[in-house]
Every structure is written in structure tokens, then in C-alpha cells.
């Protein structure tokens, strides 16, 4: 058994690798730009800081890098001029001009050397001024310290250097609106002089170019973080994804484990009773009620509970939102437990009732098959009491189908809590993943899905181990 468990745990590693790869491919192929809605609205409103904020945001979350290989190291003056001319062409649709400007932003430091060369290739003063404005933005070094992290002494020193460089560029190299051709030429000369002093920051050796081509990409950064068990940062909540999920897991597990326990506690005895009373009127009546409950969607029942029991029409007996009351800090431990229990009674009911029909039918079918077995008839022939025959000989082998379902039930309940947590406004991981999808907070989506995938594999392993516990005939060698 120990060898089998170790093998299964080792098998989880390549499985998680495959899951994470598929997740990353799906997320990167999804339409939309993380944070695009916020910055798009700011740009439309004419915010002066929107472009710089967007650039810093994308650099912090590696969104400004190419996906698989970094072809930015091969940029030419013609490449940057083409995008600059697009931004200047008023005959083009606004979306194309914005997209070209976003591309220039993402090129960042890789575009500085081509931009310096493009100064001498520019066709007119207006184009040269656009090049200088792009240089003013892309030549600045960005502080990309992860949110919520305290700066080390080295990072503080680097931050001071970045501030000094930024002040110099803005004070000495920035081009003012409406600048004359002579002023533009003077600024261009100053930029070339500045570049001559800072050239080593933007020109690299062959090995450094290859390293950046291969590893300065979204794919490489994603995997380097995963190998360090780092799920990245949430761009919405501005904190590490792992800590964000860990804070919410107890809430979702409270709902999921409680509903799972209640579902098995009720359905297994109900299934055994149904097998013993097979085809009786009482058994048929219970089956009818269970399937009626099964046919009711959980979000529909949740909405009914809120409508009739939560907002005072006609009763106000259950909390309408949240996992606990706002004043829990002033409560005793026992009062806090009672408060959480009262807030979760309706969500747990909605997550429990639908599974009763299916689980009880599986239990009934399993026990019925065992009851007809020869060894059960032999036990009866020995004169054993009926309850001993059922509980000791039939139930133990009859619940194996239920154990099979246990491996996937917990992750399904956690995933299904998306609806219930959203309806009841409970801040668990179900509500978090729904909100993250809407906000395109892809790091959180990937992190939560990986955790659910881990739950599936752990659940299946637990099921396999329980097979051997319940049925001595099963062993893993």
C-alpha cells in the first residue's frame, strides 16, 4: 500500500504539469486584455497617467512580454517607425492607432536602440517629435516590485536610481507640446548623447540576446514561478494569489465538507433502507421526493430562500449575505460559531439536497446487488438476524460505488459553490473565481483551477485507499 501511494503521489507531478500547461494555453488564447477595461476607460477619459499606469501594470505581471519567444530583441528602426506612423495616421480607425501605441509600450526597453536609429530616418519633424515622445516613455526604467512586498535595501537603492533617471528624462529630455523644429532637433541631439552614455543598458552580447529571446517571455516566467510554487499576484486584489486563495479556502471547505458529510450521512442509510424496502410504497414515495428535489436547480432554490425567508417577504429568518456578521470581533468563540452556522445553513442546504437522490440511488443499487449474493443467503441460512446480515455483510461491500464517487464529489462541490457563493455573496473561492473570470484576473483563475485539480487527484487517491479498507479482497501491491 505504501509503495502504491508513493507512486500515485509521484504521478501527480506530471499530471499537474499537463493541467497547468493546458490552463496557461487556454488563458492566453482567451479574448480580452487583463486590466484593459480599466485602462481603456481611463484613456478614453483623457487621463494623463493612464498610459504610464498601464505600462507599469503590464510589466509587473509580465503581460508586456511575448508568449513563447522574445522576438523584441530583433526590432529594427523600420518596425518602430511603422507603429509610430500608424499612431500618427488620423485616417486609420482609432482602435488601430491605440493598438499600435500599446505595442510600442510593450516593446519598452527593446525599442530604445531602434528608436535612436529611427531619429535619422524620420521623414519630417512631426514624425521625429513622435519618436522623441516614445523614447521619453520607453527609456524610463520601471519599478516592478511585487504588490505587498517589503523592499530590501538593494531594491530601495534601485528605486532611488529609477526616480533620479525619471526626473532627468522628464526635466532634460522631454519634448514640450508645440515645440519648434529647432527645439526638436536640439532634443534629438541630447537624446543621442544620453544614449551614448547609457548604451550598455540597451545593447547585449550574443549570449545575452539568446537568453532574453528564450527566457524573457510569459511562458518562461510562468513556469519559473510554478517551479517555485509561486502562483503569481492578483492584478485586481494586488496581493499574492496563493495567500488570497488560502484566506478563502476555509470558507469554501466549511460549506463543501459540511454539505458532503450531510449528503453521505443521509443518503447512505436512506439507500440501505430503500434496498431493504425495495418496491414498497414508502420507498417509491421517498424516491419520488428525492428526484423532485434533484430536479430543482440549486440557484433557483437559493433565490427562493432569499426571497421568502431572507428579506422579510413574508419572513426574515435567515441572513441574506456573507459568511459571518460584521461584529464577530466582539463575539465570544461560541457566539461566533453559532453566527457562522446561522449564516451557512441556507447555502449548505442548497449544496446538499441535490446530491441526496443520486447518492442514495447508488447506495441502493450497490446494496441490492450484494443482497442477492450467495454469501448473504448463506449468512441468512446460518440464522443471523436480518440487521446483522444487512449491516455486517451487505452494507460494507454495497457502498463501494459510493466510495468511487467520493474521489470526485469534493472538487465538484467546491466548483459548484461558485453559484451558491455568488447568490449568497459568500467570500469563498467559488465567488473569487467567478469574480476573477469577470475581471480577467488570470493568475487567480489558474491558481484556483490548479488547486481544484489537486483536490481531484487527492480525492481519487483517497477513494482507492478506502477500497482496500472496506473490501479486504482489494489490495495494492
Grid coordinates representing 102 are: 500599446
Is 145 a residue whose pLDDT tops 70?
A: no
Rounded to the nearest 5°, which phi and psi values hold at 268? -65, -55
Is 399 a residue whose pLDDT tops 80?
A: no
- DSSP character at residue 108: G
Higher-confidence residue: 198 or 327? 198
- What mean pLDDT is predicted for residues 320-349? 83
Higher-confidence residue: 145 or 231? 231
Grid coordinates representing 405 are: 464517487
Is 86 a residue whose pLDDT tops 70?
A: yes
Per-residue pLDDT band at 285 (split at 50, 70, 90): very high
For residue range 200-237, list pLDDT tens digits in order.
888 888 899 999 999 999 888 888 888 887 887 787 78
Higher-confidence residue: 313 or 354? 354
**Averaged pLDDT score across all residues of the chain:** 81
3-state secondary structure of 325: coil
3-state secondary structure of 327: coil
Any idea how long the chain is? 477
Between CA 61 and CA 63 the distance in angstroms is: 5
Higher-confidence residue: 434 or 317? 434
pLDDT at residue 78, as a whole number: 92
For residue range 400-431, list pLDDT tens digits in order.
777 777 766 666 666 557 888 888 888 888 88
pLDDT at residue 210, as a whole number: 92
For residue range 301-315, list pLDDT tens digits in order.
888 888 888 776 677
Those residues whose C-beta lies under 8 Å from the C-beta of residue 125, and which sit 6 or more positions away, are 181, 184
- What mean pLDDT is predicted for residues 61-83? 88
Between CA 39 and CA 344 the distance in angstroms is: 38
For residue range 237-258, list pLDDT tens digits in order.
878 888 888 888 888 888 888 8
Is 40 a residue whose pLDDT tops 60?
A: no
pLDDT at residue 237, as a whole number: 81
For residue range 93-103, list pLDDT tens digits in order.
888 888 888 88
- DSSP character at residue 124: S
pLDDT at residue 241, as a whole number: 85
Between CA 2 and CA 4 the distance in angstroms is: 5
Percent of the chain with pLDDT over 70: 87
In 295-399, alpha helices (H): 298-305, 333-371, 374-381, 386-388, 395-398
Is 35 a residue whose pLDDT tops 70?
A: no
Which domains does the chain show, CATH number per domain?
Answer: 36-230 (no CATH), 240-470 (1.10.3720.10)
3-state secondary structure of 234: strand
Burial of 173 per CB tally in 10 Å (0-12, 13-18, 19+) = middle
Q: What is the pTM of this model?
A: 0.70
Residue whose C-alpha is closest to residue 400's, from 477, 475, 469: 469
What is the residue whose three cell numbers read 532637433?
185
Between CA 172 and CA 160 the distance in angstroms is: 18
On whether the CB atoms of residues 286 and 278 are closer than 8 A, the answer is no
Between CA 120 and CA 123 the distance in angstroms is: 9
Between CA 321 and CA 110 the distance in angstroms is: 50
Amino acid at each position: 500500500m505504501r509503495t502504491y501511494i508513493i507512486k500515485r503521489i509521484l504521478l501527480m507531478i506530471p499530471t499537474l504539469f499537463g493541467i497547468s500547461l493546458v490552463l496557461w494555453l487556454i488563458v492566453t488564447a482567451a479574448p480580452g486584455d487583463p486590466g484593459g477595461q480599466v485602462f481603456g476607460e481611463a484613456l478614453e477619459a483623457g487621463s494623463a497617467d493612464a498610459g504610464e499606469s498601464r505600462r507599469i501594470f503590464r510589466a509587473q505581471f509580465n503581460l508586456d512580454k511575448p508568449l513563447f519567444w522574445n522576438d523584441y530583441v530583433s526590432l529594427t528602426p523600420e518596425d518602430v517607425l511603422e507603429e509610430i506612423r500608424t499612431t500618427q495616421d488620423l485616417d486609420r480607425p482609432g482602435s488601430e492607432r491605440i493598438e499600435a501605441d500599446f505595442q510600442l509600450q510593450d516593446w519598452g526597453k527593446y525599442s530604445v536602440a531602434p528608436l535612436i536609429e529611427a531619429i535619422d530616418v524620420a521623414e519630417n519633424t512631426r514624425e521625429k517629435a513622435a519618436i522623441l515622445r516614445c523614447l521619453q516613455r520607453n527609456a524610463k526604467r520601471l519599478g516592478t516590485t511585487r504588490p505587498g512586498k517589503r523592499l530590501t535595501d538593494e531594491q530601495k537603492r534601485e528605486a532611488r536610481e529609477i526616480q533620479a533617471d525619471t526626473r532627468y528624462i522628464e526635466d532634460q529630455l522631454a519634448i514640450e507640446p508645440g515645440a519648434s523644429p529647432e527645439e526638436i532637433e536640439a532634443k534629438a541631439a541630447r537624446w543621442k548623447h544620453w544614449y551614448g552614455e547609457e548604451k550598455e543598458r540597451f545593447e547585449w552580447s550574443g549570449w545575452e540576446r539568446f537568453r532574453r529571446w528564450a527566457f524573457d517571455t510569459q511562458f518562461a516566467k510562468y513556469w519559473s514561478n510554478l517551479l517555485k510554487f509561486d502562483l503569481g499576484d492578483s492584478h485586481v486584489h494586488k496581493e499574492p494569489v496563493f495567500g488570497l486563495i488560502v484566506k478563502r479556502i476555509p470558507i469554501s471547505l466549511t460549506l463543501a465538507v459540511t454539505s458532503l458529510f450531510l449528503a453521505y450521512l443521509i443518503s447512505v442509510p436512506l439507500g440501505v433502507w430503500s434496498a431493504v424496502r425495495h418496491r414498497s410504497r414508502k420507498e417509491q414515495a421517498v424516491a419520488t421526493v428525492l428526484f423532485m428535489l434533484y430536479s430543482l436547480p440549486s440557484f433557483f432554490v437559493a433565490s427562493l430562500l432569499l426571497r421568502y425567508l431572507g428579506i422579510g417577504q413574508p419572513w426574515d429568518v435567515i441572513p441574506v449575505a456573507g459568511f459571518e456578521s460584521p461584529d464577530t470581533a466582539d463575539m465570544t468563540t461560541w457566539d461566533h460559531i453559532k453566527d457562522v452556522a446561522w449564516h451557512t445553513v441556507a447555502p449548505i442546504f442548497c449544496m446538499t439536497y441535490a446530491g441526496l437522490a443520486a447518492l442514495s440511488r447508488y447506495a441502493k443499487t450497490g446494496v441490492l446487488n450484494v443482497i442477492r449474493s450467495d454469501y448473504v443467503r448463506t449468512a441468512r441460512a446460518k440464522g443471523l438476524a436480518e440487521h446483522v446480515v444487512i449491516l455486517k455483510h451487505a452494507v460494507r461491500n454495497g457502498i463501494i460505488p459510493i466510495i468511487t464517487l467520493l474521489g470526485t464529489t469534493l472538487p465538484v462541490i467546491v466548483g459548484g459553490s461558485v453559484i451558491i457563493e455568488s447568490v449568497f455573496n459568500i467570500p469563498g473561492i467559488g465567488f473569487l473565481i467567478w469574480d476573477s473570470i469577470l475581471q480577467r484576473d488570470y493568475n487567480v483563475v489558474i491558481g484556483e483551477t490548479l488547486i481544484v485539480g489537486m483536490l481531484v487527484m487527492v480525492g481519487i487517491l483517497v477513494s482507492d485507499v478506502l477500497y482496500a479498507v472496506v473490501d479486504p479482497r482489494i489490495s495494492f501491491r
